Amino acid sequence: IERAGMPAGVFSLIQGGRRDVGTALVTHPAIKAVGFTGSLVGGRALFDLCAQRPEPIPFFGELGSVNPMFLLPAAAAARAETIGSGWAGSLTLGAGQFCTKPGIAVVVDGPEADRFTSAAKSALEKVAPQTMLTKGIAAAYHEGVDRMRASNAVAPVLAVESAGRDAAPNLFETNGSAWLADHSLSEEVFGPLGLVVRVGSPEEMVALAESFQGQLTATIHMDDADLGLAHDLLPILERKAGRLLVNGFPTGVEVVDSMVHGGPYPASTNFGATSVGTMSIRRFLRPVAYQNFPAGLLPEDLRN
């Protein structure tokens, strides 16, 4: 900081794994805005504290996203294996610790769904266990895997044991009606876990899209013949996610002017903001209008 010629206090670091550390920060009167990435429970608690302050402050939180991926019929017929292996790579990038990891794949049941799931399984089998960032994150991943295994609504496709801070890929599948009936299946499992949801028809795929909560991303894999179904999905997904993709994987997040890394709650607590990209600075700026000012009184940056 000193070498860059920046004022003291521009950067400070406080380490601590207890919730009272975060509580002390967001309630301190010198803090005027908060950015947060973490769990729904922890983030919501901090969000509420920010709102309850004598001087409430904005809280920009990322609290969880499963980033659904929709495989439309023509695309699945043409390249199910390619999409399946690509999905496996996106699921396991960085031990699945990307908040944009596409954790749920929705596909119409049938031979194409079989091909897609088989290709994803084959690719995941080649991925060795990876070390997660912290013991707490790893423990939460193991708990999520156990929750999936204990559910009567899902069936294991690839079940690999892991312990400690290691995380091995796991893959499960279910059908559309079972998924709609069990809200816990829509909750994020942070780590290399994927869930294939087999729907009975394109109409059920649209119904499934309607049921999602707010997401950071939503992806459509499509060919030209899928344009009609894509038109049905698009207005739904526009209301559900901050970033929409076609024929790609959302794990990578580029820092550019057009990037939107946010979305409706619980993906984020402020759907009008982004935490990545050049617009992200707006979270920590407060606009001021100067009306009828003489030039000599204006801030220097505004003088012509």
Which one has a higher pLDDT value, 183 or 106? Answer: 106
Rounded CA gap, 264 and 47, in Å?
Answer: 15
Out of 2.40.50.140, 3.40.309.10, 3.40.50.2300, 3.40.190.290, which CATH number does the structure's domain 69-246 have? 3.40.309.10
Task: Give per-residue pLDDT as tens, 275-296.
Answer: 999 999 999 999 999 999 999 9
pLDDT-wise least confident of 92-106, 164-178, 211-225, 259-273 = 259-273
> What single-letter DSSP state applies at residue 244?
E
Q: What integer pLDDT is reported at residue 244 of this predicted model?
A: 97
pLDDT at 3 over 90: no
Q: What integer pLDDT is reported at residue 120 of this predicted model?
A: 98
For the chain, the structural domain boundaries read 69-246
Q: What integer pLDDT is reported at residue 209 of this predicted model?
A: 97
Give the pLDDT band of residue 1 (cuts 50, 70, 90).
low
Q: What is this structure's pTM?
A: 0.90
Q: Using only C-alpha atoms, what is the Rg of the chain? A: 22
- Identity at 167, one-letter amino acid code: A
Phi-psi map region of 205: left, alpha, beta (phi>0 left; psi -120 to 50 alpha): alpha
Residues acting as catalytic residues: 62, 99
pLDDT at 14 over 90: no
- Identity at 164, one-letter amino acid code: G
Give the pLDDT band of residue 41 (cuts 50, 70, 90).
confident
Mean pLDDT over the full length of the chain: 93
Task: Give per-residue pLDDT as tens, 239-280.
Answer: 999 999 999 999 988 899 999 999 999 999 988 899 999 999
- Composition of the chain by helix, strand, coil, percent to 5: 40, 15, 40
Rounded CA gap, 58 and 81, in Å?
Answer: 45
Q: What integer pLDDT is reported at residue 20 of this predicted model?
A: 84
Give the pLDDT band of residue 22 (cuts 50, 70, 90).
confident
For the segment 152-157, the average pLDDT, to the nearest whole number, is: 94
> Other C-beta atoms within 10 Å of 133: how many?
12
Q: What integer pLDDT is reported at residue 200 of this predicted model?
A: 97
pLDDT at 235 over 90: yes
